[in-house]
């Protein structure tokens, strides 16, 4: 019988640098201010070694056990995740076809005792994140598949250019590849009122490299990212080691469930919760996706 006890969040997170359990303290305000400044300036903030190095092997082992359950279905997409045959002008960036070659382990395939699941639901963690993104509180997604996922990018594969549907994203690299798998992004390439199709097209066609920033993440690094307004991708993974990232999905309001079309694209299936929520999605802007 396995009598091991899972480490507590306070043991797992470097709480000296990231004082989740001391809200209102000087160290708390300093950590939050640093993240906010990064987001305001770059649209991205990395909290290095958020998970203590002593627990990196646990992250890797758990990811290795979950990865075989990832929905893996290569398909042709575009940066906006709308139909590739949409009736659009010839020079529209959504007409540029990309290959989706990454996979996702859905929330209902992530064990209840997994470290990333404990972290996702931890109230101290959520309170800290809310402060970092300037919200009074954040809520776990009500989506039974997309609330928490493990993104798996296998050797030779990548995650193509795209925008997020949420204004901010929270992710934790749980296994770094041997090489490649670099996070590239174009901060604030669009806004709520301006799609800026010209610059998006330039990046997608390789003519906008001056707009692209590169970021090599390490196991245990937590990333907060304004992916709604930043075009971003993961470059091809090289070597023999998969790139694993836990993606924590939160929203400013409770009860949020993803669309059936996007859910089926990511996981190859939908649930009754998605069917029930279809048509009731409230969008925060009028961007293409």
The proportion of the chain whose per-residue pLDDT surpasses 90, expressed as a percent, equals: 78
CA angle 125, 50, 162 (to 5 degrees): 85
135 within 8 A of 48, measured Cβ to Cβ: no
Tokens of 121: 């639901």
Q: Looking at the domain assignment, is residue 73 inside a domain?
A: yes
The residue with tokens 């203590």 is 52
Interatomic CA distance for residues 106 and 113, integer angstroms: 15
For the residues 224-240, what does the mean pLDDT come to?
95
Q: Looking at the domain assignment, is residue 284 inside a domain?
A: no
Give CA 58 to chain center in angstroms: 20
Q: Looking at the domain assignment, is residue 8 inside a domain?
A: no
DSSP type of residue 122: -
Q: Looking at the domain assignment, is residue 171 inside a domain?
A: yes
Interatomic CA distance for residues 172 and 150, integer angstroms: 9
- Strands 243-248 and 169-175, by their bridges, are antiparallel
Average pLDDT, the chain: 92
Range of the domain at 97: 18-277
Interatomic CA distance for residues 246 and 62, integer angstroms: 11
pLDDT band at residue 268, thresholds of 50, 70 and 90? confident
pLDDT digits (tens, 9 = 90+) for 108-151: 999 999 999 999 999 999 999 999 999 999 999 999 999 999 99
**For the domain that residue 96 is a member of, what is the CATH number?**
2.60.120.620
Interacting residues of 164 by C-beta distance below 8 A, sequence separation 6+:
225, 227, 228
Q: Looking at the domain assignment, is residue 177 inside a domain?
A: yes
Q: Looking at the domain assignment, is residue 40 inside a domain?
A: yes
118-153 b/e (C-beta count within 10 Å ≥ 16 → b): bbbebebbbbbbbbbbeeeebbbbebbbbbbbbbbb
pLDDT band at residue 281, thresholds of 50, 70 and 90? low
Instruction: Specify the number of domains making up the chain.
Output: 1
CB-CB neighbours of 172 under 10 Å: 24
Q: Looking at the domain assignment, is residue 151 inside a domain?
A: yes
Interatomic CA distance for residues 216 and 129, integer angstroms: 22
Q: Looking at the domain assignment, is residue 10 inside a domain?
A: no
pLDDT band at residue 215, thresholds of 50, 70 and 90? very high
Instruction: Determine if the pTM surpasses 0.85.
Output: yes
């Amino acid at each position: 019988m396995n009598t091991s006890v899972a480490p507590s969040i306070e043991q797992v997170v470097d709480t000296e640098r990231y004082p989740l359990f001391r809200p209102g303290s000087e160290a708390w305000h300093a950590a939050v201010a640093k993240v906010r400044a990064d987001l305001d300036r770059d649209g991205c903030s990395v909290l290095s070694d958020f998970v203590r190095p002593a627990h990196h092997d646990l992250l890797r082992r758990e990811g290795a056990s979950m990865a075989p359950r990832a929905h893996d279905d290569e398909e042709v997409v575009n940066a906006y995740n709308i139909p590739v045959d949409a009736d659009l002008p010839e020079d529209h960036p959504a007409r540029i076809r990309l290959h989706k070659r990454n996979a996702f382990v859905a929330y209902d395939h992530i064990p209840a005792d997994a470290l990333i699941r404990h972290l996702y639901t931890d109230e101290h963690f959520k309170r800290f994140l809310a402060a970092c993104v300037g919200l009074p509180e954040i809520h776990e997604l009500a989506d039974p598949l997309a609330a928490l996922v493990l993104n798996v990018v296998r050797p030779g594969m990548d995650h193509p250019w795209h925008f997020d549907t949420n204004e901010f994203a929270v992710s934790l690299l749980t296994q770094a590849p041997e090489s490649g798998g670099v996070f590239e992004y174009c901060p604030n390439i669009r806004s709520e009122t301006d799609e800026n199709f010209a610059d998006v097209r330039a990046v997608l066609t390789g003519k906008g490299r001056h707009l692209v920033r590169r970021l090599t993440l390490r196991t245990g690094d937590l990333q907060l990212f304004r992916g709604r307004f930043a075009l971003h991708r993961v470059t091809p993974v090289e070597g023999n080691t998969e790139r694993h990232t836990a993606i924590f999905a939160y929203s400013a309001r409770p009860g949020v469930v993803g669309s059936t079309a996007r859910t089926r694209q990511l996981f190859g299936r939908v649930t009754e919760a998605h069917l029930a929520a279809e048509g009731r999605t409230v969008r925060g802007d009028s961007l293409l996706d």
